[in-house]
Amino acid sequence: MYRPFRAKIIVMFLPRALPWAGMYRPFRALKTPPFLECAPYGREWKKTINTVYDMTDYIDAINVMSLFILNRFRAITREGIKAMLDFDILDTVAGKQVYDEGLEKGLEKGREEGRLNNMREMLALNLKNRFGDVSSDFINALNAIKDFDYLKALFSKSFSYDNFDHFKKNLATAQI
């Protein structure tokens, strides 16, 4: 008895509180929408929000809508949202936050790759200075190592080896 009553209240209350919420229905069943087919729904959303809300609430409603789209369709691109809603997602708070998070992750990954490449170059240069030319196969083996701490340990140990063969034996045991 409780459930039908609650559902009835929600059905009665929701259209007045969020008049555009019913427009989410076409997207509920879609996991990966054909964005060109969904574009008219997005434009309809925007038009409804524009007529229902004043300018201060309009921005909040656009943010909620963009969060819904970003959360529901993980594979959507900025161009997809532009086609669906006829606005740039980066103009919203949610869009800026997602962009900043992606940028930060990209920068962090770039820093990590840079550290790995620098350590590989230092190790190869040290071995070249100590033992002469280093083969391209050996350089490829160094490039396959993704563990910074292991490369750092190899670099440290490279000063203690008397010849290149001893160092190569140590590298052969590397967990690549």
Q: What is the pLDDT of residue 86?
A: 65
Classify residue 68: in a domain, yes or no. Answer: yes
Which residue among 58, 91, 124 closes a domain? 91
Whole-number Å distance between alpha carbons of 62 and 150: 49
Q: Are residues 75 and 144 in the same domain?
A: no
Classify residue 14: in a domain, yes or no. Answer: yes
Q: CA-CA-CA-CA torsion for 45, 48, 52, 57, nearest 10 degrees? A: 30
Whole-number Å distance between alpha carbons of 171 and 166: 9
Which residue among 91, 125, 147 closes a domain? 91
Q: Are residues 60 and 136 in the same domain?
A: no
**In this predicted structure, which of 20-34, 109-123, 133-147 has the lowest mean pLDDT?**
20-34
Average of pLDDT values for 39-53? 76
Average of pLDDT values for 151-168? 87
How many domains would you assign to the chain?
Answer: 2
Q: What is the pLDDT of residue 60?
A: 77
Classify residue 104: in a domain, yes or no. Answer: no
Between 46 and 164, residue with greater pLDDT: 164
Cβ(94)–Cβ(59) under 8 Å?
Answer: no
Give the pLDDT band of residue 13 (cuts 50, 70, 90).
Answer: very low
Classify residue 105: in a domain, yes or no. Answer: no
Classify residue 49: in a domain, yes or no. Answer: yes
Classify residue 121: in a domain, yes or no. Answer: yes
Q: Are residues 117 and 154 in the same domain?
A: yes
Q: Are residues 129 and 79 in the same domain?
A: no
Between 91 and 8, residue with greater pLDDT: 91
Q: Alpha helices of 18-92 — where are they, by DSSP H?
A: 25-28, 35-52, 55-72, 78-85
Q: Are residues 87 and 122 in the same domain?
A: no
Q: Are residues 163 and 85 in the same domain?
A: no
Classify residue 96: in a domain, yes or no. Answer: no
Domain range enclosing 82: 2-91
Q: Are residues 43 and 123 in the same domain?
A: no
Give the pLDDT band of residue 46 (cuts 50, 70, 90).
Answer: confident
Classify residue 101: in a domain, yes or no. Answer: no
This model's pTM is above 0.85: no
Give the pLDDT band of residue 87 (cuts 50, 70, 90).
Answer: low
Give the pLDDT band of residue 107 (cuts 50, 70, 90).
Answer: very high
Between 46 and 160, residue with greater pLDDT: 160
Between 43 and 7, residue with greater pLDDT: 43
